[in-house]
């Protein structure tokens, strides 16, 4: 009974200091580099539980949540959908809009995904090496995303 309740609720991936240190700083740096190349100012969000970056121009402010997809190398993405963890849903509907950025392994390319696109995408359970059951991901169609190049 308890197992079925946990599966229905969706299990949470445990926090890993190692994964965080391997991926968080490089993703934030790549996000800042990209947004600044587009003429925006991007700064780390002081809310450690909020989206990673606050992006600012003279006329707008928004959040950017960044991550690295280590299985993606080079410019070409080998799948029809991009999986974004369901737990990131909490960043949609905050005081500012949120753009999700998913970088390739080298942080030379990224997909941009708006919050509205994320929550309109199918939600599926995906077993993986961190959580064998009960972890859900949005499967966002690649055709709904914008592929961008990160300046060197």
pLDDT digits (tens, 9 = 90+) for 73-91: 999 999 999 999 999 999 9
CATH number, domain containing residue 86: 3.40.1350
User: Under 8 Å CB-to-CB from 11, ≥6 apart: which residues?
Assistant: 131, 133, 134, 135
Start-to-end CA distance of the chain, whole Å, equals 52
If one counts the domains in the chain, the total is 1
Distances (CA, A) of 77 to 11, 28, 47, 83, 122: 27, 21, 31, 12, 19
Question: What residues make up the domain containing 51?
Answer: 2-149
pLDDT tens sequence for the chain (152 residues): 333 333 444 455 555 555 555 668 999 999 999 999 999 999 999 999 999 999 999 999 999 999 999 999 999 999 999 999 999 999 999 999 999 999 999 999 999 999 999 999 999 998 766 555 678 999 999 999 999 999 98
């Amino acid at each position: 009974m308890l197992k079925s309740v946990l599966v229905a609720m969706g299990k949470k991936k445990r926090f890993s200091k190692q994964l965080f240190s391997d991926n968080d700083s490089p993703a934030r740096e790549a996000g800042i580099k990209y947004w600044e190349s587009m003429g925006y100012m991007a700064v780390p969000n002081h809310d450690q539980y909020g989206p990673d970056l606050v992006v600012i121009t003279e006329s707008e402010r928004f959040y950017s949540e960044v991550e690295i997809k280590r299985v993606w190398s080079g410019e070409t993405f080998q799948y029809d959908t991009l999986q974004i963890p369901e737990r990131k849903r909490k960043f949609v509907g905050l005081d500012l809009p949120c753009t999700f950025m998913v970088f390739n392994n080298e942080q030379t390319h990224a997909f941009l995904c708006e919050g509205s696109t994320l929550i309109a995408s199918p939600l599926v359970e995906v077993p993986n090496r961190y959580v064998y059951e009960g972890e859900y991901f949005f499967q966002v169609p690649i055709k709904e995303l914008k592929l961008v190049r990160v300046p060197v």
